[in-house]
Amino acid sequence: MRRFLTVKYAKRPVILLLVVALAATLSPAASAKSAARYPAVFVAGYGGYGQYDKINDYFPYWGMASGDLLASLRQQGYACYAASVDPVGSAWDRACELYAQLTGTVTDYGAAHASRNGHARYGADFTGKALLKDWGTPGGGAEKIDFFCHSFGGTTLRLMAQLLADGCQEEIEAAGAGSVSGLFTGGKTGLIRSMSTFATPHNGTTVLDAAFVLRSLLPAGEKKNVGISNPTGFGAIDYAINMSRLFSNGLGPDTGIYDLMLEGAAEINKNLSAQPDIYYFSYPTDCTRPLPLLGIRFPAGTLTEPVFWPFAVYMGFATGTTPGGIVYGSEWFGSDGIVNTISSRAPFDEPQQPFNPENIEPGVWNIMDTFPGDHASIIGGFMRAGDVRAFYAGHLALVNSL
Q: What is the DSSP string of 297-360?
A: EEE-TT---GGGHHHHHHHTT--EE-TT--EE-GGG--BSSSSBHHHHH--TTS-EEE--TT--
Tell me which of 67 and 215 has the higher pLDDT.
Answer: 67
CB 152 within 8 A of CB 259: yes
Which domains does the chain possess?
17-205+224-241+257-285+343-400 (3.40.50.1820)
Mean pLDDT, residues 201-216:
76
Mean pLDDT, residues 190-208:
96
Smallest CA-to-CA distance from 297 within 7, 1, 5 is with 7
Catalytic residue among 53, 336, 369, 374: 336
* Rama region for 296: left / alpha / beta (φ>0; ψ in -120 to 50; rest): beta
pLDDT band at residue 219 under the 50/70/90 scheme:
low
DSSP three-state, residue 397: helix
Does 23 score more than 60 pLDDT? no
Tell me how far apart the alpha carbons of residues 123 and 106 are, in angstroms, rounded to a whole number: 7
CB neighbour list of residue 233: distance below 8 Å, 6 or more residues apart? 54
Phi/psi at 317 (5° precision): -140, 0
Instruction: Point out the least confidently predicted range of 57-61, 156-160, 225-229, 293-297.
Output: 225-229
CB neighbour list of residue 7: distance below 8 Å, 6 or more residues apart? 284, 331, 334, 341, 342, 345
pLDDT band at residue 28 under the 50/70/90 scheme:
very low
Q: Is 150 marked active-site?
A: no
Paired strand residues for 62: none
Amino acid at 208: L
CB neighbour list of residue 219: distance below 8 Å, 6 or more residues apart? 250, 251
H or E element, residue 290: strand 288-291
Q: pLDDT value at position 80?
A: 97
Q: Is 395 marked active-site?
A: no
Radius of gyration of the chain (CA): 20
Does 372 score more than 70 pLDDT? yes
CB 377 within 8 A of CB 386: yes
Phi/psi at 41 (5° precision): -110, 125
Tell me which of 168 and 213 has the higher pLDDT.
Answer: 168
Q: pLDDT value at position 223?
A: 73
* Whole-number average pLDDT of the chain: 88
Catalytic residue among 151, 196, 282, 343: 151
pTM of the model: 0.90
CB 283 within 8 A of CB 371: yes
H or E element, residue 22: helix 17-25
Amino acid at 264: G
CB neighbour list of residue 196: distance below 8 Å, 6 or more residues apart? 146, 147, 148, 149, 280, 281, 282, 283, 395, 399
Catalytic residue among 150, 375, 377, 395: 375
Interval 86-100: pLDDT, tens: 999 999 999 999 999
Does 36 score more than 70 pLDDT? no
Instruction: Point out the least confidently predicted range of 59-63, 148-152, 219-223, 374-378.
Output: 219-223
Tell me how far apart the alpha carbons of residues 347 and 284 are, in angstroms, rounded to a whole number: 12
Amino acid at 129: K
Q: pLDDT value at position 218?
A: 60
Interval 130-187: pLDDT, tens: 999 888 776 666 789 999 999 999 999 999 999 999 999 999 999 987 899 999 999 9
Mean pLDDT, residues 178-201:
95
Q: Is 151 marked active-site?
A: yes
Tell me how far apart the alpha carbons of residues 335 and 191 are, in angstroms, rounded to a whole number: 33
Smallest CA-to-CA distance from 84 within 247, 249, 229 is with 229
CB contact burial 220-246 (16+ within 10 A = b; e otherwise): ebeebbbbbbbeeeebeebbeebeebb
